[in-house]
Structure 1
Amino acid sequence: MGSVARDTFVVLLLLLATGSLASHFRFGIITWKPDTSVTNKVDFQFKLAWRRSAGSFYCDDSTISSNKLIGGGNWNCASGCSGTVSSASYYCTSYSVSEDWSQGERTFSYTFSGSGPFTVRFSSCCWIRLLSGGSSWSVQTEIDLRRRSDNGKINSSPISATSAIIRLQNGCSYNIPIHTDDPDGDTVKCRWASGSSECGGVCNAVSGATLTSNPCTIHYTPNSNGWLAVALTLEDFASSSSSTPLSKVPLQFLFNVASRGTSCGAGVKFASSTLADNVCIPVAPGRTFTTRIYVTEQGSARLNEVTIVAPQGMSKSSTRGTSPNKYVDITWKPTTQQYGSHVFCFTAIDNLGIATSQRCITILAGSSIPTIVSSSLVPKNGAVISLVTRKFVVDFDQTVN
């Protein structure tokens, strides 16, 4: 092979390699909590989403049921420590054929050499081709294992989740809530991520959007078709008046803006019997979480699919029912290792590409509903309460936050 042909061949290989990696990143978040049984040990949980058709990120029902690790890359220590913390391979938990993404999660533990603070980061290239912003991504969290001054405990980060892709109609106005929760009951606020370490090449990439920090809500009226990367940082505070964050968590995802040829608010709808947004549901130890997501078709809109953001092991049935009333069934039996707070989100997409507003709930795996200890009641059950009664006591069988 001549030198010119050889050089051309090498260039073609590089272009093919670049093309196989380009435009594959869709979503990222990493959260953490301390393992109180071992000093400076932290349990991390991350969720990532990628282009489903991009080789190692392919996922289908058999991938989910087989608990096969997919993907690659590494979470690295970027500040306060050094080296690789964990692989970024994950277990696929959900996917979308129409939107071409697969999403999954994995937990891992790491013991730091001290109490920090530390920064753990996953960064590389590339996002899908965007209307604004660069192609690189950077997803990082900050960990501080020093005991808090307000309660003497080690902090846990806030948790959140969202769909990898949120579909918007060009010219329509949106108020998009971002579901957040905090294991310590702290105040959670959000802000636009800033600096290349927090958001890579997509800092402030949604021009014209505004943000309410608490409750976290994006206000946006898109005016151009295309893809936009949203990069947020979630921070928890000991109180609503505090200005010093206890930890920082990334949340990055995509807006897909298109002219759908219908009026704002058109498309399929969730029926009233579907779980409401932002509720909290306990699942007792050994029990199974089940729910049915009901969707009502309107006019010419027909349900295409229900996408979910799910914890590992959650299953979704095929679409059932007859028009205009369709539904999917959700089932999840948490393992003992999964006891704790999990965010579950779902969205319905119709044949015109229009999506419902996303709904997200918190599932408290391994928790029971608190019940009243009847013997603790003051006044006693059935007693007459007068205008001079001043003392009322109600005890529950577990701590109520």
Structure 2
Amino acid sequence: MEQKCLLLYAFTTVMQFVTYASYFRGGTISWKPTGNGTEVLFSFKLRWTYGNGPGCDQSRIGQLVTGMNTSYWQCTGGCNGTLNLTNVNYICIGANRTENWEEGENTFIHTFPGIGPFVVEFTQDDWLKNSSIGGWSIGTMVYLANRSDTHLFNRSPITTAKHLYTVQYGCRTTIRIPVMDDDGDTVRCRWSTGSGCGSVCTDLPLATLDSNTCTLSFPANETPNEMYAVKVSVEDFPKLNIKFGSKVYTPKHSLSTVNLLFLVKTISVPGKCSDRPRFTVLTPAQGSTVHTDVMRNFQLSFYITDKRGITKVDISAPSGMTYTSPQTVPSTPGSVFVTTTWIPQRSQVGTHVVCALAENILGKRSEPRCINVIVKDVSPCTNEPCQRNGTCVRNGMTQNYTCQCHSGFTGAHCELGDIISQCVELTFEECIFHRFLLTSV
């Protein structure tokens, strides 16, 4: 009952009709245990109108920007009152003054006093500038009970989206929300529910959401040149019955929930609905997964074609990932490619979603192409640093480890031991020779 109440408190319906420019442009948060008790690593991405966030601009991409020191991610449920966890400052990953947006992401770690459940969220009093629409929040529920299938704590699903989807007025439109789960759970999407719409709350007209594919569909024919805010909840479900803490969870019971907020804008442009940029077969398929190792150079290319010509390709990527401007594909008129390059850091182990969105000279945009990139951890125990058959025990998810040595051996790597202990591993002749060397020093 407590868990359900916390969920109702945290995840509210915000499918709102936008009549004024918004400071906030959306975002999301996810989390995973670090392996060190009840310590949890959170990852978040936020977007604002240009100049109204922490201070991201083109000159600061890749840098930490700190213009929002007094706005916080908070624990608002399960903790002893409301607890400030960290501010919402982030590493700048993109900005455009002309298009009026900035974007960044960051991580933070918090150790909880127990298994929860806990509600972590970032809330503001107003979603829109100069409007009567009520408050908004981006949040997640953290429950650190053991799962009987993995014998580990659960990890939340992961999702992302462009801060703004520009769609052609009058065209039936689908937006597939990229989702992923590191535990291999089933991931579903739903409209957020609750009482948080404020005094004005109207849906994106005739929009439907396929919960199984996380696909948003709508006709985009209500009003030209209007903007809508969308808030969905992304949940993970076990594929089989499992014991989660003290209760049995079936494939119908969600394990955790994360929020995703973004904007949709309808624009009037000429041409048929099907006349838009398209990704070619040289690009990995939508929703496909690629793997890389931490601290290894990684590259991913997107190939796009349009008979009128591509003017730009927007990339939504993790911090530290760089990408080229559109490059012409030799002997293929109207086709370009963009290559991303990244060396994932140790703090970026896990799943990331990289999305590309192309635009032609008419301002018509492609469907987003999103690829899951799984950064694999490299354990310090992989190279077997412990000698004499010692056991390597990793300290959480860090690169530190401890060697558990057999009787008679000591040292950081079990490299020290008395003559008798060392002779256990040697033949009689080797032992005599080894003893001779030691006693001759």
- TM surpasses 0.5: yes
Which structure 2 residues correspond to residues 27-42 of structure 1 after superposition, within 5 A? Answer: 27-37=26-36, 39-42=37-40
Where 1:105 maps in the other structure, the secondary structure is strand
Equivalent residues of 2:64, 2:90 under 8 A apart: no
Specify the code of the residue in structure 2 equivalent to 1:233.
S
Q: Structure 1: how far apart are the matches of 2:296 and 2:135?
A: 42
Q: Structure 2: how far apart are the matches of 1:351 and 1:53?
A: 27
Q: Structure 1: how far apart are the matches of 2:53 and 2:65?
A: 14
Alignment partner of 1:263 is 2:272: yes
Alignment partner of 1:57 is 2:67: no
1:200–1:119 CA distance, 2 compared to 1 (3 A) = farther
Alignment partner of 1:359 is 2:369: yes
Alignment partner of 1:109 is 2:118: no
Alignment partner of 1:346 is 2:356: yes
Alignment partner of 1:124 is 2:124: yes
Where 1:337 maps in the other structure, the secondary structure is helix
Q: Structure 2: how far apart are the matches of 1:261 and 1:133?
A: 34
Which structure 2 residues correspond to residues 235-384 of structure 1 after superposition, within 5 A? Answer: 235-239=235-239, 242-299=251-308, 302-321=309-328, 324-366=334-376
Equivalent residues of 1:71, 1:90 under 8 A apart: no
Equivalent in the alignment of 2:164: 165
Q: CA deviation at 1:77?
A: 1.3
The normalised TM-score by structure 1 is 0.78
Q: CA deviation at 1:135?
A: 5.6
Which structure 2 residues correspond to residues 49-198 of structure 1 after superposition, within 5 A? Answer: 49-54=47-52, 56-60=54-58, 62-72=59-69, 73-81=71-79, 82-127=82-127, 134=133, 136-196=135-195
1:360–1:200 CA distance, 2 compared to 1 (3 A) = farther
Q: Structure 1: how far apart are the matches of 2:39 and 2:347?
A: 16
* Count of aligned positions: 342
Q: Structure 2: how far apart are the matches of 1:55 and 1:235?
A: 28
Equivalent in the alignment of 1:395: none
Pick which of 148-157 and 80-89 moved more: 148-157
Q: CA deviation at 1:186?
A: 0.7
Equivalent residues of 1:336, 1:366 under 8 A apart: no
Specify the code of the residue in structure 2 equivalent to 1:287.
R
Q: CA deviation at 1:112?
A: 1.2
Bigger radius of gyration among the two = 2
Q: Structure 2: how far apart are the matches of 1:179 and 1:203?
A: 25
1:112–1:22 CA distance, 2 compared to 1 (3 A) = farther
Deviation by residue 1:277-323 (Cα, 9 ceiling, x = unmatched): 11111012432111222222313xx3222111111100122233276
Q: CA deviation at 1:26?
A: 0.6
Q: Structure 2: how far apart are the matches of 1:52 and 1:309?
A: 17
The normalised TM-score by structure 2 is 0.72
Q: CA deviation at 1:367?
A: 5.9
Q: CA deviation at 1:366?
A: 2.7
Deviation by residue 1:186-209 (Cα, 9 ceiling, x = unmatched): 111110011245x76786632311
1:147–1:276 CA distance, 2 compared to 1 (3 A) = same
1:182–1:52 CA distance, 2 compared to 1 (3 A) = same
Equivalent in the alignment of 1:373: none
Specify the code of the residue in structure 1 equivalent to 2:314.
T
What percentage of aligned pairs have identical amino acids?
35
Q: Structure 2: how far apart are the matches of 1:71 and 1:202?
A: 28
Q: Structure 1: how far apart are the matches of 2:134 and 2:325?
A: 35
Pick which of 348-357 and 199-208 moved more: 199-208
Task: Provide the alpha-carbon RMSD of the alignment.
Answer: 2.6
Equivalent residues of 2:299, 2:341 under 8 A apart: yes
1:214–1:204 CA distance, 2 compared to 1 (3 A) = farther
Equivalent residues of 1:51, 1:57 under 8 A apart: no
Q: Structure 1: how far apart are the matches of 2:266 and 2:21?
A: 20
1:345–1:55 CA distance, 2 compared to 1 (3 A) = closer
Equivalent residues of 1:92, 1:312 under 8 A apart: yes
1:126–1:327 CA distance, 2 compared to 1 (3 A) = farther
Q: CA deviation at 1:154?
A: 1.0
Equivalent in the alignment of 2:213: 215
Q: CA deviation at 1:100?
A: 2.1
Q: Structure 2: how far apart are the matches of 1:66 and 1:255?
A: 28
Deviation by residue 1:313-363 (Cα, 9 ceiling, x = unmatched): 001222332762323221111012212111111101223221100011111
Equivalent residues of 1:137, 1:201 under 8 A apart: no
Equivalent residues of 1:94, 1:310 under 8 A apart: no
Q: Structure 1: how far apart are the matches of 2:352 and 2:53?
A: 29
1:196–1:120 CA distance, 2 compared to 1 (3 A) = farther
Q: CA deviation at 1:258?
A: 1.4
Where 2:347 maps in the other structure, the secondary structure is helix
Equivalent residues of 1:286, 1:333 under 8 A apart: yes
1:100–1:275 CA distance, 2 compared to 1 (3 A) = farther
Where 2:281 maps in the other structure, the secondary structure is coil
Equivalent residues of 1:128, 1:227 under 8 A apart: no
